[in-house]
């Protein structure tokens, strides 16, 4: 698939009580003054080298991991958000790692806490459902798009307020959101700790590379032949990439990657697109599923998010 990077950790390629939640039932989030993103200090950078998200506000955000009872957690492969008493929303492309674990006697689980390798709670994942694909096959990953799934937990986490579900509207373009996940946050490839940052919602339609490079084929061409990691760079492939990768209109969002802003990295796939200052109103409007990066920045040009438009929001609610 060329330079396109889906969020999977490289190794896998080879506390707020429910009673304290104001309406723990999942409802469509509504914009209001208390849902504006709060300041995150140094988090107006990439999650890579960004700010730790240790606050209990983020308790609903956990890691999808592999673990063995005698070994503990030994791999983090994705991120996710608790949105029901025993349900986690994540990216569809994370589910093969769940299958692989189950097929090999490894326990796939949802790890809760700031450090996925030393979780405060660890709850096995028993099954999942995935969203139906696009009927016309559109999507950045060229596999039907709609990269979202709901995973089911063996039991209900203790004292964790599920995040609410919010419908992403077109008038949210240009708005700042938060993102969070357990992916790579250090240039040495360190991962497994929950980090957060800010992104601007940039586009809900259009060709990927023209959006990233503001329509400048020359800038794209310079990146492609100097700072991309494609092993067999050719003029023919460069022209193909420029045209072929497109956002599925109204389903996929380009966010982040602007100067001083955040972007996720490997292992952040399935992590949320967020608004809300507190655990009681933390609302997710979509999930991260891909990123475009460079050799110099690792993950730095822009992130792809599957947003909860009416159809995708209905899918998640039905799954609950």
CA gap 183, 203 in Å, rounded:
24
Neighbours of 110 (CB within 10 A): 28
The encoded tokens of residue 3 equal 């330079």
The encoded tokens of residue 284 equal 């997710």
Q: Are 160 and 62 in contact (CB under 8 A)?
A: no
- pTM exceeds 0.85: yes
CA gap 289, 271 in Å, rounded:
8
CA gap 252, 146 in Å, rounded:
8
CA gap 269, 238 in Å, rounded:
26
CA gap 12, 98 in Å, rounded:
11
Q: Which fold has domain 5-15+37-319?
A: Thrombin, subunit H (2.40.10)
CA gap 61, 55 in Å, rounded:
11
Residue listed under structure tokens 């709670």: 121
Return the pLDDT at 28.
45
DSSP 308: -
Three-class secondary structure assignment of 103-138: HCCCEEEEEECCECCCCCEEEEEEEEEECCCCCCCC
- Rounded to 5°, the CA angle 283-251-23 comes to 20
- State the DSSP H helix or E strand holding residue 60, giving kind and residue range, or none if neither: none
CA gap 255, 262 in Å, rounded:
9
Residues with Cβ within 8 Å of residue 197, at least 6 apart in sequence: 40, 43, 44, 45, 46, 47, 50, 51, 178, 179, 180, 256, 261, 262, 263
By DSSP bridging, strand 283-292 and strand 164-166 are parallel
Distances in Å between the Cα of 152 and the Cα atoms of 83, 88, 129, 309 are: 11, 6, 9, 22
Q: Are 110 and 123 in contact (CB under 8 A)?
A: yes
The pLDDT profile of the chain, 320 residues, written as one tens digit per residue, is 334 444 433 333 332 222 336 433 344 444 433 444 344 333 334 565 568 999 999 999 999 999 999 999 999 999 999 999 999 999 999 999 999 999 999 999 999 999 999 999 999 999 999 999 998 888 999 888 899 999 999 999 999 999 999 999 999 999 999 999 999 888 778 899 999 999 999 999 999 999 999 999 999 999 999 999 887 889 999 999 999 999 999 999 999 988 888 888 989 999 999 999 999 999 999 999 999 988 888 888 999 999 999 999 999 999 99
The encoded tokens of residue 19 equal 């009673």
Three-state DSSP state, 238: helix
């Amino acid at each position: 698939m060329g330079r396109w990077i889906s969020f999977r950790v490289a190794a896998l390629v080879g506390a707020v009580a429910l009673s304290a939640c104001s309406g723990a039932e999942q409802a469509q989030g509504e914009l209001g003054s208390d849902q504006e993103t709060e300041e995150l200090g140094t988090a107006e950078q990439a999650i890579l080298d960004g700010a730790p998200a240790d606050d209990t506000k983020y308790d609903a955000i956990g890691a999808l991991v592999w673990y063995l009872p005698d070994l503990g957690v030994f791999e983090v492969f994705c991120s996710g958000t608790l949105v029901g008493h025993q349900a986690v929303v994540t990216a569809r492309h994370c589910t093969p790692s769940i299958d692989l674990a189950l097929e090999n006697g490894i326990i796939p689980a949802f790890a809760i806490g700031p450090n996925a390798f030393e979780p405060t709670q660890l709850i096995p994942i028993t099954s999942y459902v995935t969203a139906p694909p696009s009927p016309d096959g559109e999507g950045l990953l060229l596999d039907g798009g709609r990269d979202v799934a709901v995973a089911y937990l063996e039991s209900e986490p203790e004292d964790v307020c599920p995040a609410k579900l919010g419908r992403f509207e077109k008038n949210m373009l240009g708005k700042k959101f938060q993102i969070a996940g357990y992916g790579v946050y250090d240039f040495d490839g360190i991962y497994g700790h929950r980090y957060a940052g800010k992104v601007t919602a940039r586009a809900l339609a259009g060709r990927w590379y023209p959006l990233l490079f503001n329509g400048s084929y020359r800038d794209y061409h310079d990146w492609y032949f100097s700072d991309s990691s494609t092993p067999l760079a050719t003029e023919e492939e460069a022209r193909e990439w420029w045209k072929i990768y497109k956002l599925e209109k109204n389903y996929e969002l380009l966010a982040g990657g602007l100067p001083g802003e955040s972007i996720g990295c490997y292992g952040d796939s399935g992590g949320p697109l967020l608004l809300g200052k507190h655990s009681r109103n933390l609302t997710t409007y979509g999930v991260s599923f891909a990123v475009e990066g460079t050799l110099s920045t690792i993950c730095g040009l822009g992130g792809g998010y599957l947003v909860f438009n009416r159809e995708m929001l209905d899918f998640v609610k039905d799954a609950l």
